[in-house]
Structure 1
Amino acid sequence: MSATAIIGSTGLVGSHVLSTLLASGAPPTVQTISRRAPKSTGPALQGTVEPDTTLWAAKLKALVPTPTTLISALGTTRAAAGGIANQWKIDHDLNVELAQAAKAQGVRNFVFVSSAGTRGLVASRLPYSQMKNGVEDAIKGLDFDHAVIVRPGLIIGEREVAHQGGWLMNATVRGLGRIAGQWAQDKLGQDAEVIARATVAAARLAEEGKAPAKYWILEGADIVRLGRTEWKE
């Protein structure tokens, strides 16, 4: 892999994407843009800390070397953002702006960590689904060499800032997995580390020209396959 940039590198999935890339030794340069410094460090890391997200598109265009692939695991919650309108600015508007900036700068591949279940007749009317679907559609329309959409179910893992009710959902899905088997947990949610590994694996395949489609959607089963079953350190 050539230089790869990560947006959302301090979040639950994004932090695992970063640590996975740094541990792999490839790409030679891993670039991040974030409001605070990521926890993972390493000689390959080229981190940009910018608290003002309105400047992120300009920071992305200034990255040297220009990344071949950009991975966005950027997202927040309504509670953390202070309402739907502010969440929309991050989850939708900022992701779209960064995708547009990446395309203009010559980034070839874009990988977006989205969410499962947003395209249903009822679900698609919810604001959260509309944010994710809007970003997915914008990325597809930008005509990257490869666009990869990763759609996990419930993201299982410990967050720095707990989501309301998140611990209960995590415990319920994990408990189901212990009772009925791993397959039952995998149907509803995936571990953050597994999602991150699948994201990295998909990015590698895109860079190698081995992605199965120009616009490639990874659902839960694909995430488990790439991030756990077929994963090689």
Structure 2
Amino acid sequence: MTSVLLFGSTGLTGSNILETLAKVDGFSKIWTISRRAPKTQSAKLEAIVEADTDTWTKPLADMKPETVISALGSTRASAGGIQNQWKIDHDANVAIAKEAKAQGVKTFVFVSSTGTRGFLSSMAPYSKMKIGVEDTVTGLGFDHAIILRPGGILGERENPHLGGPLMNAAIRSLSKISQGWQDSLGQEAEVIGRAAVHAAKLAAEGKAPKNPWILEQADIVRLGREEWKNVDPTA
């Protein structure tokens, strides 16, 4: 049994991670810190609502979680510009990772994005944010640093991104030809959430295959869909 602190619990991916954590045995205590209350309810869950992201690292000293998962992220539009997005997607995640290490967290899981390290793509501001956080997490010396790099994240958002419904439909349509084609471009948020929890659980059990453990799209599908029956036989 392990304790876990989740950031980004009200977003599309984070809400699926939280729902999965609440259902799966092996996690005795769940904390969340977010700007609004998550929808998932559980006897294991203690949800902290705090609008000021600058204060989010303070509770770690009292919690002492063994695992921290961050699915914290935003869009340029919702953040109100690239500078504000950088403060959330990069600065807040870096601060969380550093404080987690200072408080003795053993496993840190970060939901990043695929395709950020290409020659051209790595120069985009969004890619720089993700790369900066990834490099921080993998360089801090956690017992287990786990990075998920999903493709297009499929699912229904509370506030749909511009073009999001069209992207969902386009990628999902590929499954009619080949599930592999869909999997190579995008993954369901539920599958990503399950993969994050499965990886965290394996790390807590001492079964993570390497450190850092980078989960590309195929790895996410394997852990979150194909091997999920080993974690939750009812899924």
TM-score by length of 1: 0.97
**Are the aligned partners of 1:10 and 1:36 in contact in 2 as well (CA < 8 Å)?**
yes
Structure 1 vs Structure 2 CA RMSD: 0.8
The CA distance in 1 between the partners of 2:130 and 2:92, in whole Å, is: 12
- Please give the per-residue CA displacement for 1:43-92, whole angstroms capped at 9, x wherever unaligned: 000111111111101123332xx110000000000000000000000000
Hey, what does 2:103 align to over in structure 1? 105
Equivalent positions of 1:1-233 (< 5 A) are: 1-63=1-63, 66-178=64-176, 180-232=177-229, 233=232
Unaligned runs of 5+ in 2: none
- Please give the per-residue CA displacement for 1:99-134, whole angstroms capped at 9, x wherever unaligned: 001011111110000000000000000000000000
The CA distance in 2 between the partners of 1:59 and 1:78, in whole Å, is: 28
The CA distance in 1 between the partners of 2:84 and 2:70, in whole Å, is: 18
List 4+ stretches of structure 1 deviating above 3 A: none
The CA distance in 2 between the partners of 1:92 and 1:55, in whole Å, is: 15
Q: Say how many residue pairs are matched.
A: 230
The CA distance in 1 between the partners of 2:160 and 2:122, in whole Å, is: 25
- Please give the per-residue CA displacement for 1:181-225, whole angstroms capped at 9, x wherever unaligned: 211100100000000000001001111111111100000110000
What letter corresponds to residue 182 of structure 1 in structure 2?
Q
1:25 Cα offset (Å)? 3.3
Unaligned runs of 5+ in 1: none
Bigger mean CA deviation after superposition, 96-105 or 53-62 = 53-62
TM-score by length of 2: 0.96
Q: Percent identity?
A: 60
The CA distance in 1 between the partners of 2:227 and 2:136, in whole Å, is: 30
